[in-house]
Amino acid sequence: MRAAYQRLLGPGILFLIVVLFYWKLVLTNQYTWLENPDAANENLPWLQFQAGEWHKGRFPLWDPNGWFGQPLVGETEPGAAYPPNWLLFLVPLRHGWIRQSALHWYFVLIRYFAALACYALARGLGRSRGASILAGCVYGLGGYVGHTGAPQHVNGAVWTPFVFLYLFRAERGERPLANSLLSGLFLGFGWLAGHHEMNLFVSMAVIALWIWLVVREGKLNWHIARLAAVSLIVAAMASAFQTLPTAEYGRRAVRWVGAAEPVQFDETVPYSIHEQYSEKPLSLLGIFLPGLDRFGLYFGAIAFSLGVLGAILAWRERQVRWLATMALGGLLFTLGPNSVFHGVLYSLVPLVEKARVPGAGSIVFSVALAPLVAYASDLLPRPESAFWSRRAGWVLAALGALVSAVSFLFFAAKVQAATDDRLMVAAIAAILGAAALAAWRTGGLSPQAGLVCIIGLVLFELFNVSTYPFPNRFYPELNRYLRPLSLHGDLIDYVRKRGEAVRIEYDDNAIPYNLGDWYGVESFNSYGASVPLNIWKMDLFSPQAKDFFGVRYYFGKSAPRAGMQEVFTGKSGLKVFENPTAFPRVWSVHRQVRAPGPGFNPRREVFFSERANPVFGACSGSEDDVQMPIHIPNHVRIIANLQCRSMVILTDTWFPGWRAKVDGKTVEIYRAYGGVRGVMVDGGRHVIEMKYMPGSVLLGGALTFLATVLAIVALRRG
């Protein structure tokens, strides 16, 4: 009983700290982390769509609500393949909507488990419970994790400390095979979270460390090389549930990266984009001065000072040298064009050019710095550390005095942009930190009391940055992004009451969020990062294309083109315009042409972008009747009454993984018109079923499961 209490004490204290740190989110109803454009316009609709599908008993593999359908798992960012997200999706909904309180706890628990993982890493390095709690706070509440709001970016960081915990154990010879497998398992599991940038940079750091371990003695260490190979193979397997669908989709999509036009997978992301998303050299001051960094470098003066001291005081330990090197490497990488190392990696290492945000390299800096803080907090109270403790105190006192003077000068000069209250918080914390170190060194504070003071001061600094973006709901000018999500339900209700299988388009200046996923309605446009390539090539934005895809309604202040009829006005002032020339969602065609030319009629003729020679019957098809009674994300049912053998057209995206049956017999799905689905059907009445069962997801899921089983078996057998 006592042993269990001792094991749970540290995690319990850490949980209490994280919950109280984020009191704005879970102890009041006045603040939210969702009040920013990406969270409100993109992340929240994705989560809402998936939660709705889970509560209907369906695993959402396909998202039909934007750009005529896309593979949800392949898109990566929605996080559909990340098991912890499934727990969020299963939380009871309120009137069909995901609860804001659930999203707030989701946000906080991500930080708690990240902090807990770093706590475990510090304990694995032999640090005391109190020092490990401090390391957990630094990692989970500051740096990359504390700065990053989007779940798909930060979820992977939860597992990063475990990657190095088990790698270090394997290197020390502690059950080397089992720990190598666990390191790879957690590295791969991070890739399931939903974004490639952070996980790619962590993977690069892991591979670099393995390479060093293999060659550090001047000759190849084949034992370590085998462990590295096994670990990285298991990492690839563990990530496959996400990475295989991503690879399949990435080759068949275009992606917006910030350039003038979206790029294909085989096109290089311009280096100018990387330049935009890098930290600037001046941003390095943002490690301890709030508001200067962009991508999660901030830890505060005390935590950063302790990290540096930890590297100095414990330099003889090889793991400390590796962590310090990783921290420096991650820091230099974030500088992008101001660091030659980033350019070399961009040019030579696969996928680095796809990771357009070098600033996200701060994750490597974060996971390396936090354990070094734990080393300092354990070693500083010792008499032999007095020299470095004294100098750290002088530096902190000087920094506090300098920042106080600068803040006063800004205030006196009435420099509005520079009078950030958080600067004085940094100054106060630095001065108090210097005093705490002095009292700790001279015996004025016991080691335990000194550590408590240090933890309190670190939290004091981090709170004024990590929770700073949360606006109070009583300031309407600061709450601009969530309110629009509640304004357009009447427009959706009007369309749904018409009982038609149609698509809508909306003015994305008036409706900036992903309306399709938020309301579960098929829409022409979508707030997202990518579009299937075959759809993108279909002259999407012409009136003819919108007619072809069955875009019958438009939401906006005015009609986008002549001939559309105003049919409804919503409470937001936006109107619904009906397009009378929109095609039905399904129809039949009876003739193939080589290419569209003058007089081409897509309601009667079809062409193919690749070689295809289906056999058509000889009839006009004027009496054909094609209906679609079921259209849900992973399943479509069409009932066709045809005069003769024809092709039934469904204007949904053609994509591998869709399988069709006619009256229970498997048939081919043709890529009609270059991008949508067509199925050949004989004359008479037939039922067409289309289901999305992608091999990439099935194989990826099997590999992820197998990697998990291998790691568990190896762990149990030692």
Output 381 or 373, whichever has higher pLDDT.
373
Q: What is the mean pLDDT of residues 616-623?
A: 82
Of the pLDDT bands very low, low, confident and very high (cuts 50, 70, 90), residue 541 is: confident
- Reported as a single tens digit per residue, the pLDDT across 669-718 is 999 998 999 999 999 999 999 999 999 999 999 999 999 998 888 877 76
Tokens of 521: 């309605």
Confidence of residue 365 (pLDDT cuts 50, 70, 90): very high
Residue pair 239/192 in contact by the 8 Å Cβ criterion: yes
CA-closest candidate to residue 588, choices 499, 649, 535? 649
Residues 6+ apart with CB under 8 A from 475: none
State pTM to two decimals: 0.92
Q: Which of 360, 371, 334, 369 is nearest to 156 (CA)?
A: 360
What DSSP assignment string belongs to 477-496? GG--SSGGGGS-HHHHHHHH
pLDDT class of 239 with cuts at 50, 70, 90? very high
Average pLDDT over residues 460-489: 89
How does DSSP classify residue 415? -
Q: Kindly state the tokens that stand for 42.
A: 């993109």
Lowest mean pLDDT among 451-465, 613-627, 697-711: 613-627
Residue 239 CB contacts under 8 Å (≥ 6 apart), including other chains = 187, 188, 189, 190, 191, 192, 199, 704
Dump pLDDT digits (tens) for 265-299: 888 889 989 999 998 999 899 999 888 888 889 99
Out of 170-179, 470-479, 650-659, 687-696, least confident range: 470-479
What percent of the chain lies above the pLDDT cut of 70? 98
Crossing angle of helices 447-466/129-141, nearest 10°? 10
Q: How confident is the model at residue 415 (pLDDT cuts 50, 70, 90)?
A: low
Share of the chain above pLDDT 90, in %: 61
Residue 418 pLDDT greater than 60, yes or no: no
Query: Residue 515 half-sphere exposure, CB side, CA atoms within 13 Å?
Result: 26
Instruction: Answer yes or no: are the C-beta atoms of 378 and 131 closer than 8 Å.
Output: yes
Q: Is the pLDDT of residue 1 over 70?
A: no
Handedness of CA 308, 310, 314, 316 (dihedral sign): negative
Per the listing, tokens 């550590």 go with 451
- Rounded CA-CA distance 135/123 in Å is 10
Cα of 672 vs its chain's centroid, Å: 33
Would the pLDDT of 160 be above 90? yes
In the prediction, which pLDDT does 621 show? 74
The whole-number average pLDDT for the span 234-263 is 91
Whether the pLDDT of residue 216 is over 60: the answer is yes
Q: Across-strand partners of 587?
A: 649
* The predicted structure's pLDDT at residue 499: 78
Inter-residue contact 540 to 590 (CB < 8 Å):
no
Closest CA to 126 of 348, 369, 303, 378: 378
How far is the C-alpha of 495 from the C-alpha of 305, rounded, in Å?
A: 60
Helix (H) or strand (E) holding 709: helix 695-717
Q: With 60 as the cut, is the pLDDT of residue 416 above it?
A: no
Four-CA torsion 377, 379, 381, 386, nearest 10 degrees: -120
End-to-end CA distance of the chain: 26
pLDDT at 261 (0 to 100):
84
- What are the residues whose beta carbons fall under 8 Å from the beta carbon of 318, sequence distance 6 or more? none
Measure the CA–CA gap between 594 and 584, rounded to whole angstroms: 24
* DSSP for 601-612, written as a single string: -TTTEE-BSS--
Exposed e or buried b per residue across 515-553, where buried means at least 16 C-beta atoms within 10 angstroms of its C-beta: bbbbbbbbbbbbbbebbbbbbbebebeeeeebbbbbbbb
Q: Residues 555, 488: contact at Cβ < 8 Å?
A: yes
pLDDT at 314: 94
What does the buried/exposed string (b/e) look like for 12-32 if buried means 16 or more CB atoms within 10 Å of the residue's CB?
ebbbebbbebbebbbeeeebb
CA 263 to mean position of chain CA atoms: 20
Q: In sequence order, what are the beta bridge partners of 639?
A: 627, 687
- Tell me the mean pLDDT in the region 478-504: 88
Mean of the per-residue pLDDT values of the chain: 90
Q: How far is CA 460 from CA 166, 326, 571, 634, in A?
A: 32, 27, 45, 49
How confident is the model over 16-32, as a mean pLDDT?
Answer: 94
How far apart are the C-alpha atoms of 455 and 302, rounded to whole Å? 9
pLDDT of residue 599: 82
Quickly state the pLDDT bin for 263 (edges 50, 70, 90): confident
Burial class (CB in 10 A: 0-12, 13-18, 19+), 483: exposed
Contact 531, 549 (CB under 8 A): no
As given in the structure block, the two tokens for residue 606 are 């079809």
Q: Sheet containing 565-569: give its strands across.
A: 503-506, 551-556, 575-578, 565-569
Cα–Cα distance between 251 and 533 in angstroms, integer?
8
3-state SS assignment for residue 255 = strand
- Separation CA 554–CA 503 (nearest Å): 9
pLDDT score of 325 more than 70: yes
Question: What's the average model confidence in pLDDT over 575-601?
Answer: 89
Token readout for 126 is 């032999």
Tokens (6 digits) for 691: 């289901």
User: Which residue is associated with the tokens 């720990």?
Assistant: 179
Tens-place pLDDT, residues 103-128: 999 999 999 999 999 999 999 999 99
Q: pLDDT digits over 422-431, tens only?
A: 888 888 999 9
Q: Which two tokens stand for residue 230?
A: 């096994």
Tokens of 267: 């096109």
Please give the backbone phi and psi of residue 551, each rounded to the nearest 5 degrees, phi first: -80, 95
**How far, in Å, CA of 488 to CA of 480, rounded?**
15
CA distance 78 to 516: 14
DSSP letter for each residue of 538-579: S-TTSHHHHHHTTEEEEEESS-SSTT-EEEEE-TTS-EEEE-
Residue 26: how many CA atoms within 13 Å on its side-chain side? 16
* Cα(411)–Cα(416) distance, integer angstroms: 8
pLDDT in tens, 33-64: 999 888 989 999 999 999 999 999 999 999 99
pLDDT at residue 423, rounded to an integer: 84
Give, as one character, the DSSP assignment of residue 243.
Answer: H
Q: Exposure of 681 by Cβ count < 10 A (0-12 exposed, 13-18 middle, 19+ buried)?
A: buried
- What's the CA gap between 454 and 62, in Å, rounded? 49
Residue 581's pLDDT is: 92
pLDDT tens for each residue of 645-656? 999 999 999 999
